[in-house]
Amino acid sequence: MPGTGLWRTKSVEQSISDTDEPDTRLRRNLTAWDLTVFGVAVVIGAGIFTLTARAAGDLAGPSVALAFVLAAVACALAALCYAEFASTVPVAGSAYTFSYATFGEFIAWIIGWDLVLEFAVGAAAVGKGWSAYLQVVGGYVFGKGFTTTTTIFGLHVDWGALLLIVVLATLLTVGTKLSSRVSLVITGIKVAIVLFVIFYGLSFVKSANYAPFIPDSAPPTATSATGVDQSLFSTLAGGATSTYGVFGFLAAASLVFFAFIGFDVVATTAEETKDPQRAVPRGIFGSLAIVTVLYVAVSLVVVGMQSYKELATSAEPAGRKTLASAFAVNGSDWAATIISIGALAGLTTVVMVLMLGQTRVLFAMSRDGLLPRGLAKTSKFGTPGRATMLVSFLVAIAATFFEADKLEEMVNVGTLFAFILVSAGVWVLRKSRPDLKRGFRVPWVPVIPILAILACLWLMLNLSVLTWLRFLAWMVLGVVVYFVYSRRNSLLGKRMKEDADSV
């Protein structure tokens, strides 16, 4: 039975029925191949091009490859749960929609609010990275004086990030099928670049660079993760730093989890998929399998090319190392240039798919009345045009005028929290609605969901104390918004009130 008040649930049947409303109907034209492309497009990007070197140099040393495996296991467990939910409730909104059907409206709102950290904040952060790479590539073409930032009336403006958001907003408004075709081309380019890194980088690998595989914990330095910047687990366990050692390895696994974020975006497009019961699970697992193999291979090559200590972030302004840094150190500047161009292409699709995911979550929330209903109106192209414009505006403001700092971990904590609730939701829905048709079923329930919850919680504990404080502040703000606006305007709440009045 549906709950009342904060815990009122929206039935699976009602969620599916709402997709047939003429003004809020999305066009179904995506296939399993499209979804796999979307998944690979968003996952291969910011993480592989920027986090690999940082995680190795600052946290894990050569064991960063193992850290990627640990993060991949957590993602795979959560992916099983996402696949069952998406095949059972093929509706836009991903974790938000799933939570509405299992835990009730309040938890669903919290998840929807939380997903802003993954999608919108993630898109803004990656947009800043794209602009930085555009400046590097532009320097090769137009000279070293080329810059993607300027100052207007004393305000620092990143016009490169703004340009990217405007172009992608146009693509997403025209249609997800066109977006998928653009993603296919760009994704092909960046996968080729990643393969280039692996095979060309092998010629520079030295076996001595793999020892010690897990370096001893290092004493605190100017760039060490200490205080509120060290992991919550190491703080609770009395560790002085998260630089190297076991604490560093665990912190690296939590950090490189950012490199896998995005496969769940596939679940947000279920309502636009021709055969969601089969296509969505295939898209999720296909994209996750491809990127895991590539990530482990790249990390092994990069740490083999130079000592992990040379990959550590230094105190200089340009002290953050990337994949290109390893090739530049080995005297292969031309390869570093190619990698920079590949990163530019890679980050483009990351921002696009993150924005797509955010618009679908806002679309679902507004259709339920938790946000203004006008955002659920679809355009003549069959896409949520108003939601796309709002998301694009907010992401553009953040990427254009704000500095990106510590955003990767903010994205991680928000995503892991969503994964935990989705994993628990599979178990709950199996108990409450065993009659539902499931195109994909998680094996060994409740063992798999419990393992997924524990794995994600473990990764959350290895994020920094400061990240936890910021996450809690964001969640408190979300609770305030719910009680001020969303609870009073909930469409489900209004329906339940009408039903009660008619009795």
- Per-residue pLDDT band at 318 (split at 50, 70, 90): very low
> Which pLDDT score is estimated for 177?
60
Q: What is the pLDDT of residue 333?
A: 80
Instruction: List pLDDT tens digits, range 280-313.
Output: 788 888 888 888 899 999 999 999 999 888 887 6
Amino acid 319: pLDDT: 45
Rounded distance between C-alpha atoms, residue 491 and residue 21, angstroms: 14
Flag whether pLDDT at 341 surpasses 80. Answer: yes
pLDDT digits (tens, 9 = 90+) for 362-406: 888 998 999 998 888 877 777 788 888 999 998 999 888 876 556
Q: What percent of the chain has pLDDT over 90?
A: 25
Q: How confident is the model at residue 198, as a pLDDT?
A: 94
Superfamily name with CATH number, domain 5-502: Amino acid/polyamine transporter I (1.20.1740.10)
Whether the pLDDT of residue 50 is over 60: the answer is yes
Q: What is the pLDDT of residues 87-101, one digit of tens each?
A: 787 665 667 887 888
pLDDT band, very low/low/confident/very high, at 478 (cuts 50, 70, 90): very high
Interval 164-211: pLDDT, tens: 999 998 888 876 565 667 767 877 888 898 999 999 999 999 999 998
- What confidence score (pLDDT) does residue 240 get? 56
Distance from C-alpha of 94 to C-alpha of 98, rounded to nearest angstrom? 6
Of the candidates 190, 205, 212, 193, the residue with the CA atom closest to the CA atom of residue 301 = 205
Tell me what pLDDT residue 486 has.
Answer: 93
For residue 455 the two structure tokens come to 């794995």
pLDDT tier for residue 1 given thresholds of 50, 70 and 90: very low
Give the pLDDT of residue 298.
93
pLDDT tens, position by position, 247-263: 889 888 988 888 887 77
pLDDT above 70 (res 103):
yes
The CA distances from residue 200 to 193, 204, 209, 390, in Å, are: 10, 8, 17, 43
Number of Cβ atoms within 10 Å of the Cβ of 407: 23
**Per-residue buried b or exposed e for 241-251, using 16+ beta carbons within 10 Å of the residue's own CB:** bbbbbbbbbbb
pTM over 0.85? The answer is: no
Give the pLDDT mean for 5-10. 75
Q: How remote is the C-alpha of 11 from its chain's centroid?
A: 27
φ, ψ (nearest 5 deg) of residue 464: -70, 155
Instruction: Among 317-326, 426-435, 445-454, name the most confident range.
Output: 445-454
